[in-house]
Amino acid sequence: MRRQPLERVTVRAPAKVNLHLSVGRRRTDGFHELTTVFQAVGLYDELDAVPADALTVTVTGEHAEHVPADGSNLAVRAAALLGMETGRTPNVMLTIRKGIPVAGGCAGGSADAAAALVACDALWGTNLGRAELGKLAGRLGSDVPFSLHGGTALGTGRGEQLTPVLGHGSFSWVLALAEDGLSTPEVYGELDRQRESGPVAVVTDAAGVLAALRTGDAVALGHALSNDLQPAAVALRPQLSLLLEAGKQLGALGGLVSGSGPTVAFLARNDDHAVALAGALQGQGACRSVRRADGPVPGARVIEVA
Ligand code: C5P
Protein backbone atom coordinates (compact mmCIF):
# COMPACT_ATOMS: atom_id res chain seq x y z
CA MET A 1 0.00 0.00 0.00
CA ARG A 2 1.39 3.40 -0.96
CA ARG A 3 1.84 5.78 1.95
CA GLN A 4 -0.25 8.97 1.63
CA PRO A 5 1.88 12.13 1.43
CA LEU A 6 1.78 14.05 4.69
CA GLU A 7 -0.36 17.21 4.75
CA ARG A 8 1.08 18.78 7.87
CA VAL A 9 3.81 18.14 10.45
CA THR A 10 3.84 19.99 13.79
CA VAL A 11 7.03 20.19 15.85
CA ARG A 12 7.62 21.58 19.32
CA ALA A 13 11.05 22.94 20.30
CA PRO A 14 12.14 24.13 23.76
CA ALA A 15 13.83 27.25 25.14
CA LYS A 16 17.26 26.97 26.77
CA VAL A 17 18.98 28.41 29.80
CA ASN A 18 22.78 28.48 30.10
CA LEU A 19 23.59 27.19 33.59
CA HIS A 20 27.25 28.02 33.01
CA LEU A 21 28.63 30.21 30.25
CA SER A 22 32.27 31.12 30.09
CA VAL A 23 33.39 33.19 27.14
CA GLY A 24 36.95 32.88 25.94
CA ARG A 25 38.81 34.69 23.22
CA ARG A 26 37.21 36.21 20.15
CA ARG A 27 38.20 34.06 17.18
CA THR A 28 39.21 35.29 13.75
CA ASP A 29 35.74 34.32 12.43
CA GLY A 30 34.19 36.78 14.93
CA PHE A 31 32.74 34.08 17.21
CA HIS A 32 33.92 33.58 20.78
CA GLU A 33 35.27 30.34 22.12
CA LEU A 34 32.78 29.07 24.72
CA THR A 35 32.39 26.56 27.47
CA THR A 36 28.73 26.36 28.35
CA VAL A 37 26.22 24.05 30.00
CA PHE A 38 22.83 24.25 28.33
CA GLN A 39 19.57 23.05 29.81
CA ALA A 40 16.39 22.81 27.74
CA VAL A 41 13.36 24.05 29.69
CA GLY A 42 9.64 23.57 29.17
CA LEU A 43 8.78 26.76 27.34
CA TYR A 44 8.13 26.08 23.66
CA ASP A 45 7.74 27.37 20.15
CA GLU A 46 5.53 25.30 17.84
CA LEU A 47 6.05 25.11 14.11
CA ASP A 48 3.73 23.71 11.41
CA ALA A 49 5.13 22.68 8.05
CA VAL A 50 2.62 22.30 5.18
CA PRO A 51 3.39 21.61 1.47
CA ALA A 52 3.05 24.79 -0.60
CA ASP A 53 4.06 26.44 -3.91
CA ALA A 54 6.83 28.50 -2.30
CA LEU A 55 8.89 28.77 0.90
CA THR A 56 7.06 31.13 3.28
CA VAL A 57 6.88 31.80 7.02
CA THR A 58 4.23 33.36 9.26
CA VAL A 59 5.02 34.12 12.90
CA THR A 60 2.38 34.54 15.61
CA GLY A 61 2.52 35.11 19.36
CA GLU A 62 3.98 37.75 21.66
CA HIS A 63 6.41 40.12 19.90
CA ALA A 64 6.06 38.13 16.65
CA GLU A 65 6.34 41.42 14.76
CA HIS A 66 10.04 41.55 15.74
CA VAL A 67 10.79 38.22 14.03
CA PRO A 68 11.78 38.57 10.35
CA ALA A 69 9.33 36.88 7.97
CA ASP A 70 11.69 36.84 4.99
CA GLY A 71 14.65 34.74 3.87
CA SER A 72 16.66 35.76 6.93
CA ASN A 73 14.25 33.91 9.24
CA LEU A 74 16.22 31.01 10.76
CA ALA A 75 13.40 28.52 10.13
CA VAL A 76 13.30 29.54 6.45
CA ARG A 77 17.08 29.19 6.24
CA ALA A 78 16.81 25.74 7.86
CA ALA A 79 14.19 24.54 5.33
CA ALA A 80 16.27 25.95 2.45
CA LEU A 81 19.44 24.26 3.73
CA LEU A 82 17.72 20.88 4.18
CA GLY A 83 16.22 21.22 0.68
CA MET A 84 19.62 22.03 -0.83
CA GLU A 85 21.34 19.15 0.95
CA THR A 86 18.68 16.62 -0.07
CA GLY A 87 18.09 17.88 -3.63
CA ARG A 88 14.54 19.10 -3.01
CA THR A 89 12.85 22.37 -3.85
CA PRO A 90 11.95 23.57 -0.34
CA ASN A 91 8.38 24.59 -1.11
CA VAL A 92 6.81 24.63 2.31
CA MET A 93 4.59 26.98 4.31
CA LEU A 94 5.95 27.38 7.83
CA THR A 95 3.82 28.75 10.67
CA ILE A 96 5.53 29.51 13.97
CA ARG A 97 3.69 30.08 17.25
CA LYS A 98 6.11 31.83 19.62
CA GLY A 99 6.09 30.78 23.27
CA ILE A 100 9.80 31.52 23.76
CA PRO A 101 10.62 35.21 24.33
CA VAL A 102 11.86 36.92 21.16
CA ALA A 103 15.50 38.17 21.39
CA GLY A 104 15.50 37.00 25.01
CA GLY A 105 18.67 34.89 25.29
CA CYS A 106 16.62 31.68 25.38
CA ALA A 107 17.47 30.41 21.86
CA GLY A 108 14.02 31.17 20.39
CA GLY A 109 15.35 31.58 16.85
CA SER A 110 17.47 28.46 17.20
CA ALA A 111 14.43 26.52 18.42
CA ASP A 112 12.57 27.56 15.25
CA ALA A 113 15.48 26.47 13.06
CA ALA A 114 15.69 23.09 14.82
CA ALA A 115 11.90 22.71 14.55
CA ALA A 116 12.00 23.46 10.82
CA LEU A 117 14.74 20.86 10.25
CA VAL A 118 12.77 18.18 12.09
CA ALA A 119 9.43 19.14 10.49
CA CYS A 120 10.69 19.29 6.90
CA ASP A 121 12.70 16.09 7.32
CA ALA A 122 9.47 14.33 8.33
CA LEU A 123 7.24 16.09 5.75
CA TRP A 124 9.59 15.30 2.88
CA GLY A 125 10.45 11.83 4.10
CA THR A 126 14.15 12.64 3.81
CA ASN A 127 14.78 10.85 7.12
CA LEU A 128 18.27 12.20 7.66
CA GLY A 129 18.42 11.13 11.28
CA ARG A 130 19.54 13.14 14.28
CA ALA A 131 23.29 13.08 13.60
CA GLU A 132 22.93 14.44 10.04
CA LEU A 133 20.36 17.02 11.13
CA GLY A 134 22.79 18.02 13.91
CA LYS A 135 25.48 18.81 11.32
CA LEU A 136 23.08 21.02 9.36
CA ALA A 137 22.01 22.64 12.65
CA GLY A 138 25.60 23.68 13.37
CA ARG A 139 25.75 25.51 10.04
CA LEU A 140 22.64 27.54 10.94
CA GLY A 141 23.69 28.92 14.34
CA SER A 142 25.68 28.24 17.49
CA ASP A 143 22.66 27.16 19.59
CA VAL A 144 20.73 25.23 16.91
CA PRO A 145 22.38 21.84 17.60
CA PHE A 146 21.38 22.14 21.24
CA SER A 147 17.77 23.07 20.37
CA LEU A 148 17.66 19.83 18.40
CA HIS A 149 19.37 17.81 21.11
CA GLY A 150 17.62 19.12 24.26
CA GLY A 151 18.17 17.76 27.75
CA THR A 152 21.34 19.06 29.39
CA ALA A 153 24.59 19.29 27.46
CA LEU A 154 28.06 20.75 27.59
CA GLY A 155 28.72 23.03 24.62
CA THR A 156 32.20 23.91 23.37
CA GLY A 157 33.64 25.55 20.25
CA ARG A 158 31.22 28.39 19.55
CA GLY A 159 28.61 26.39 21.48
CA GLU A 160 27.75 24.01 18.65
CA GLN A 161 29.89 21.03 19.76
CA LEU A 162 27.81 19.07 22.26
CA THR A 163 28.48 16.43 24.88
CA PRO A 164 25.41 15.13 26.75
CA VAL A 165 25.49 15.73 30.51
CA LEU A 166 24.04 12.97 32.61
CA GLY A 167 22.23 14.19 35.65
CA HIS A 168 19.54 13.48 38.16
CA GLY A 169 16.24 15.14 38.80
CA SER A 170 14.26 17.96 37.40
CA PHE A 171 14.65 21.64 38.23
CA SER A 172 11.95 24.30 38.64
CA TRP A 173 12.75 27.55 36.85
CA VAL A 174 11.07 30.92 36.81
CA LEU A 175 11.90 32.98 33.74
CA ALA A 176 11.49 36.75 34.07
CA LEU A 177 10.86 38.31 30.67
CA ALA A 178 11.91 41.86 29.80
CA GLU A 179 9.95 44.46 27.83
CA ASP A 180 12.45 44.60 24.93
CA GLY A 181 15.00 42.13 23.60
CA LEU A 182 18.78 42.44 23.44
CA SER A 183 20.89 41.80 20.35
CA THR A 184 23.33 38.91 20.90
CA PRO A 185 26.16 40.50 18.81
CA GLU A 186 25.74 43.73 20.82
CA VAL A 187 26.11 41.89 24.12
CA TYR A 188 29.25 40.08 22.91
CA GLY A 189 30.53 43.44 21.63
CA GLU A 190 29.95 45.03 25.04
CA LEU A 191 31.86 42.17 26.70
CA ASP A 192 34.79 42.75 24.31
CA ARG A 193 34.68 46.47 25.11
CA GLN A 194 34.68 45.80 28.88
CA ARG A 195 37.61 43.44 28.50
CA GLU A 196 39.59 46.00 26.52
CA SER A 197 39.03 48.67 29.15
CA GLY A 198 39.87 46.60 32.22
CA PRO A 199 39.97 43.18 33.81
CA VAL A 200 36.72 41.20 33.83
CA ALA A 201 36.46 38.08 35.94
CA VAL A 202 36.40 35.04 33.65
CA VAL A 203 34.98 31.81 35.00
CA THR A 204 36.25 28.99 32.82
CA ASP A 205 35.33 25.99 34.86
CA ALA A 206 31.93 24.28 34.61
CA ALA A 207 32.86 21.77 37.35
CA GLY A 208 30.53 23.23 40.00
CA VAL A 209 27.48 23.08 37.73
CA LEU A 210 28.36 19.60 36.46
CA ALA A 211 28.81 18.25 40.01
CA ALA A 212 25.46 19.71 41.11
CA LEU A 213 23.74 18.20 38.07
CA ARG A 214 25.27 14.78 38.75
CA THR A 215 23.73 14.66 42.20
CA GLY A 216 20.58 16.63 41.34
CA ASP A 217 21.39 19.10 44.13
CA ALA A 218 19.33 22.23 43.43
CA VAL A 219 20.94 24.25 46.25
CA ALA A 220 24.44 23.55 44.91
CA LEU A 221 23.28 24.27 41.36
CA GLY A 222 21.83 27.61 42.47
CA HIS A 223 25.21 28.60 43.93
CA ALA A 224 27.17 27.41 40.89
CA LEU A 225 25.19 29.26 38.18
CA SER A 226 27.42 31.70 36.27
CA ASN A 227 27.41 33.64 33.03
CA ASP A 228 30.31 35.73 31.68
CA LEU A 229 27.86 37.64 29.47
CA GLN A 230 25.87 38.86 32.47
CA PRO A 231 27.98 41.99 33.23
CA ALA A 232 27.69 43.01 29.58
CA ALA A 233 23.90 42.46 29.52
CA VAL A 234 23.54 44.39 32.80
CA ALA A 235 25.66 47.26 31.43
CA LEU A 236 23.28 47.52 28.46
CA ARG A 237 20.18 47.06 30.68
CA PRO A 238 21.02 48.37 34.18
CA GLN A 239 17.53 47.52 35.52
CA LEU A 240 18.47 43.81 35.27
CA SER A 241 20.52 44.16 38.47
CA LEU A 242 17.33 45.18 40.36
CA LEU A 243 15.53 42.14 38.97
CA LEU A 244 18.40 39.81 39.96
CA GLU A 245 18.38 41.31 43.47
CA ALA A 246 14.57 40.94 43.74
CA GLY A 247 14.83 37.22 42.94
CA LYS A 248 17.54 36.77 45.57
CA GLN A 249 15.42 38.57 48.21
CA LEU A 250 12.49 36.28 47.33
CA GLY A 251 14.56 33.19 48.13
CA ALA A 252 15.59 31.97 44.67
CA LEU A 253 18.35 29.37 44.98
CA GLY A 254 20.17 31.25 42.26
CA GLY A 255 19.49 33.58 39.39
CA LEU A 256 21.29 34.65 36.25
CA VAL A 257 20.85 36.32 32.91
CA SER A 258 20.06 33.61 30.36
CA GLY A 259 22.66 33.62 27.55
CA SER A 260 22.92 37.14 26.16
CA GLY A 261 19.71 38.15 27.97
CA PRO A 262 17.66 40.04 28.85
CA THR A 263 15.59 37.10 30.19
CA VAL A 264 16.61 36.24 33.77
CA ALA A 265 16.30 32.64 34.97
CA PHE A 266 15.69 31.96 38.66
CA LEU A 267 16.03 28.51 40.17
CA ALA A 268 13.24 27.72 42.64
CA ARG A 269 13.37 25.14 45.45
CA ASN A 270 10.43 23.21 44.01
CA ASP A 271 7.23 23.76 42.00
CA ASP A 272 5.35 25.40 44.90
CA HIS A 273 8.22 27.80 45.47
CA ALA A 274 8.29 28.54 41.73
CA VAL A 275 4.59 29.48 41.81
CA ALA A 276 5.19 31.82 44.78
CA LEU A 277 8.36 33.29 43.27
CA ALA A 278 6.68 33.89 39.89
CA GLY A 279 3.71 35.58 41.57
CA ALA A 280 5.91 37.80 43.73
CA LEU A 281 8.16 38.88 40.84
CA GLN A 282 5.11 39.67 38.72
CA GLY A 283 3.52 41.55 41.63
CA GLN A 284 6.61 43.71 42.14
CA GLY A 285 6.54 44.78 38.50
CA ALA A 286 10.27 44.01 38.25
CA CYS A 287 9.82 42.53 34.75
CA ARG A 288 7.29 42.43 31.90
CA SER A 289 6.00 38.95 32.66
CA VAL A 290 7.05 35.63 34.15
CA ARG A 291 6.90 32.02 33.00
CA ARG A 292 7.46 28.83 34.95
CA ALA A 293 9.33 26.01 33.24
CA ASP A 294 10.84 22.72 34.35
CA GLY A 295 14.07 21.37 32.93
CA PRO A 296 15.56 19.34 31.45
CA VAL A 297 13.12 18.53 28.62
CA PRO A 298 13.78 16.90 25.21
CA GLY A 299 14.82 18.85 22.09
CA ALA A 300 12.77 19.51 18.94
CA ARG A 301 10.20 16.72 18.44
CA VAL A 302 7.28 15.98 16.13
CA ILE A 303 4.09 16.27 18.18
CA GLU A 304 1.45 15.87 15.45
CA VAL A 305 1.25 14.57 11.90
CA ALA A 306 -1.74 14.87 9.56
O1 C5P B 1 25.57 31.61 16.08
P2 C5P B 1 24.56 32.67 16.26
O3 C5P B 1 24.00 33.17 14.95
O4 C5P B 1 23.49 32.38 17.24
O5 C5P B 1 25.37 33.90 16.87
C6 C5P B 1 24.83 35.20 16.88
C7 C5P B 1 25.94 36.18 17.18
O8 C5P B 1 26.38 36.02 18.54
C9 C5P B 1 27.19 36.01 16.35
O10 C5P B 1 27.12 36.70 15.14
C11 C5P B 1 28.28 36.60 17.26
O12 C5P B 1 28.25 38.02 17.20
C13 C5P B 1 27.79 36.20 18.64
N14 C5P B 1 28.40 34.94 19.12
C15 C5P B 1 29.75 34.95 19.48
N16 C5P B 1 30.32 33.79 19.92
C17 C5P B 1 29.61 32.66 20.02
C18 C5P B 1 28.23 32.63 19.65
C19 C5P B 1 27.67 33.79 19.21
O20 C5P B 1 30.41 35.99 19.41
N21 C5P B 1 30.20 31.55 20.46
Q: What is the CATH number of domain 9-165+297-305?
A: 3.30.230.10
pLDDT value at residue 3: 67
Set 16, 48, 112, 121: catalytic member: 16
Tell me what percent of the residues of the chain surpass a pLDDT of 70: 97
Domain with CATH 3.30.230.10 in the chain: 9-165+297-305
pLDDT value at residue 1: 53
The percent helix, strand, coil of the chain (3-state, each to 5) is: 35, 30, 35
pLDDT-derived band at 229 (thresholds 50, 70, 90) equals very high
Name the CA radius of gyration of the chain, rounded: 19
pLDDT at 253 over 90: yes
Residue 110 alpha carbon, nearest atom of ligand 1: 4
Domain with CATH 3.30.70.890 in the chain: 171-295
Q: 300, 151 in Cβ contact below 8 A? A: no
pLDDT-derived band at 204 (thresholds 50, 70, 90) equals low
Write the pLDDT tens digit of every residue in 121-147: 999 999 999 999 999 999 999 999 999
Mean per-residue pLDDT of the chain: 95
Distance 80 CA to ligand 1 centre (A): 21
Is 108 close to ligand 1, i.e. is its CB under 6 Å away? Answer: no
Element (H, E) at 129: helix 129-140
pLDDT value at residue 203: 55
**Over residues 57-80, mean pLDDT:** 96
Distance 73 CA to ligand 1 centre (A): 16
Is 31 close to ligand 1, i.e. is its CB under 6 Å away? Answer: yes
| Ligand 1, atom 19: closest residue by C-alpha | 31
For the question of whether the overall pTM of this predicted structure is more than 0.85, the answer is yes
pLDDT value at residue 197: 83
Set 45, 48, 143, 228: catalytic member: 143
pLDDT value at residue 4: 77
pLDDT value at residue 200: 62
Q: 225, 267 in Cβ contact below 8 A? A: yes
Q: 243, 176 in Cβ contact below 8 A? A: yes
pLDDT at 198 over 80: no
Distance 185 CA to ligand 1 centre (A): 6
Dmax over CA atoms of the chain, in Å, equals 69
Distance 31 CA to ligand 1 centre (A): 5
Pick the CATH number of 171-295 from 3.50.50.60, 3.30.70.360, 3.30.70.890, 2.40.170.20: 3.30.70.890
